[in-house]
Amino acid sequence: NAGVTQTPKFQVLKTGQSMTLQCAQDMNHNSMYWYRQDPGMGLRLIYYSASEGTTDKGEVPNGYNVSRLNKREFSLRLESAAPSQTSVYFCASSDPGYYGYTFGSGTRLTVV
C-alpha cells in the first residue's frame, strides 16, 4: 500500500545513546516532515524538508538532526538521547503548497 513507512515502531534508549529514526514515502511527494506528539502538547514540528536537498528547523529542533537522503527518505537522528525526548515521533509527507499531509504510523520512543 502506498504511504509513509516509519521504522522502528518502538524503541527504548538509555540517556546518552544515539539512534536514527527512518522514514520513507512512495507517493513521490516533494515535502517531508518530522513531528513529535506529547500529551497536552499536540503535534510539534521538529524539522522539515521542502524538497530533496533542503532541510529547515521547525518549532522544536534542539537535540535533533535530519538528513534528506533522497526524494523518498527523510531520517531523524538523536545524537545523545535525553529523557525529555521521550515521545511519539511522526513522519509525514505532502506535495508543496498542499497541506493534506500523509502521516506514518509513528515511532514510540522511551528514553530512560
- Identified binder of another protein from the candidate list 34, 74, 104, 111, rule CB under 8 A: 104
| 64 bridge partner residues | 78
The binding track of 9-48 with respect to another protein, each residue x by CB under 8 A or -, is ----------------------x-x-x----xxxxxx--x
Task: Please state the closest distance from residue 15 (CB atom) to another protein, in A.
Answer: 25
CA–CA separation, 46 and 27 (whole Å): 22
Subset of 52-71 contacting another protein (CB under 8 A): 56, 58
CA–CA separation, 78 and 70 (whole Å): 20
Provide the greatest CA pair distance for the chain.
39
* Cis ω before 8 (30° cut-off from 0): yes
| Contact residues for another protein, defined by CB under 8 A | 4, 31, 33, 35, 40-45, 48, 50, 56, 58, 90, 92, 94, 96-106
